[in-house]
Amino acid sequence: MTGRLPVLEDLPALAGRSVLVRVDFNVPIGVDGERRIVADDFRIRAALPTLRWLMEHGASVVCATHLGRPKGAPDPRFDVAPVRARLAELLPGVELLENLRFDPGEEANDPAFVDRLVAGHDCYVNDAFGASHRAHASIVGPPARLPSAAGRLLAREVEIIGGLLDAPEHPFVAVIGGAKVADKLGVLRSLVAKADTVLVGGGMSYTFLAAQGRRIGASLCDPSQIEACRDLLASPGTIELPTDVVAIGPGGTLHPGEKSVAEGDPIAVYSGDLPDGWEGVDIGDETRGRFAAAIEGAGTVFWNGPVGLFEDPRFAAGTRALAAAVAACPGFTVVGGGDSAAAIDEFGLAGSIDFISTGGGASLELLELGDLPGLAALRGAANAPQGS
């Protein structure tokens, strides 16, 4: 990533100007009676400093966001009415356009859609870090047409996430979990080269265990990635995998999201190989202790992805233990959005984390590639600082 991002101070005078702000208000929507409501307004509140700054400098502010996956057509399940209502409560006077993804031109990066989007606006601000890894019309199109800047949230995300690779305090410990190993091999390669220790858990860990020759029973595995995992394990760097796992046996039923579950399912802890038909769903006590000890002594921690099926309370202990270890770590702690942020919030530990990213996928791609389409577009804006 070369060149400095244009920031709010790089915009022209804003008094009497209209500013289009791309935000990431893709928030959880719940139901209160028959009314749709915002279930978690974290992403809305995170954008308020940028919106307030623009208004204080005399701009009229129009926000634009996506919400869900409406597949390029209007869908009442994904209209932004509840988001607009919550934004109006938090900061009156800001307009919010309808869901960008109601138009197929958004995801297709259609120039005609960009033209319609920027019409009537004088400047553009991207404060949607969580969407900036997508080359969508509202992300990469406006900087080629309007004076543009990174909002406060986006600039802070880039500073923090980029700093993990540039100048972390050591020991630097990365904790990577989640289900899909194929989605995270790239960032793992980057982190193994930079971090002192990489702890791997969650569903993705079983492909690594299979690459070591371990029998993993019915656990999640991507056979097409076993060789890539084997190569990564053989590379310089320290990767630690679970040595014991909590598993559910044949005939057992998983209950993601339920606070109480039926008793009687076959559940056991295994060290080493898993029997046929048994599925690993959490890390065991020994692994929790090893992982927590590595985190305890870290100067920097980056965590992305749960290490078990934490939505099912029977298999939340591993993720809860790591969340507590990250929260208690005296070093600088970063949680990379997504399910990790949801877990931290569920366990009541968000206030003990130094930085919680608003973009899980974007933070991983920035760590892996060092840049994002949305950032490159901003650096190409006519008002972007040159030669720095």
The domains found in the chain, sorted by start residue, are: 8-155+370-379 (3.40.50.1260), 170-330 (3.40.50.1260)
Q: Buried (b) or exposed (e) across 269-297, using 16+ Cβ within 10 A?
A: ebeeebeeebbbbbbbeebbebbbebbee
pLDDT for residue 360? 84
- Judged on CB neighbours under 10 Å (0-12, 13-18, 19+), 197 is buried
Candidates 206, 172, 178, 208; CA nearest to 319 is 178
Catalytic residue selected from 162, 163, 361, 370: 361
Query: Is 299 annotated as catalytic?
Result: no
Structure tokens at 54: 């623009």
pLDDT for residue 342? 84
Structure tokens at 182: 């194929």
Tell me: the pLDDT tens digits for 307-359? 999 999 999 999 999 999 999 999 999 998 778 888 888 899 999 999 999 88
User: What is the residue type of 114?
Assistant: V
- DSSP, collapsed to helix, strand or coil, labels residue 188 as helix
Element (H, E) at 361: helix 360-369
Query: Is 163 annotated as catalytic?
Result: no
pLDDT mean across residues, the chain: 95
Element (H, E) at 209: helix 205-211
Is the torsion defined by CA of 190, 161, 67, 59 positive or negative? negative
Question: Residue 4 CA to chain centroid, in angstroms?
Answer: 23
Tell me: the pLDDT tens digits for 132-183? 999 999 999 999 999 999 999 999 999 999 899 888 999 999 999 998 999 9
Structure tokens at 165: 């690779």
Angle between helices 152-166 and 360-369 (to 10 degrees): 40
Catalytic residue selected from 4, 36, 52, 180: 180
Distance CA(294)–CA(242), nearest Å, equals 13
Tell me: the pLDDT tens digits for 82-135? 999 999 999 999 999 999 999 999 999 999 999 999 999 999 999 999 999 999
Whether the CB-CB separation of 136 and 106 falls below 8 Å is answered with yes
Whether the CB-CB separation of 385 and 10 falls below 8 Å is answered with yes
Q: What phi, psi does 211 have (nearest 5°)?
A: -65, -25
Catalytic residue selected from 338, 359, 360, 374: 338
Q: How many CB atoms lie within 10 A of CB 177?
A: 26
pLDDT for residue 287? 98
Taking residues 35-39, what's their average pLDDT?
Answer: 94
- Judged on CB neighbours under 10 Å (0-12, 13-18, 19+), 89 is exposed
Tell me: the pLDDT tens digits for 356-375? 998 888 999 999 999 999 99
Query: Is 213 annotated as catalytic?
Result: no
- Whether residue 275 is preceded by a cis peptide bond, meaning omega within 30 degrees of 0, is no
pLDDT for residue 2? 56
pLDDT for residue 388? 52
Query: Is 338 annotated as catalytic?
Result: yes
Distance CA(76)–CA(96), nearest Å, equals 16
111: which strand partners? none
Distance CA(211)–CA(207), nearest Å, equals 6
- Answer whether residue 387 shows pLDDT above 70: no
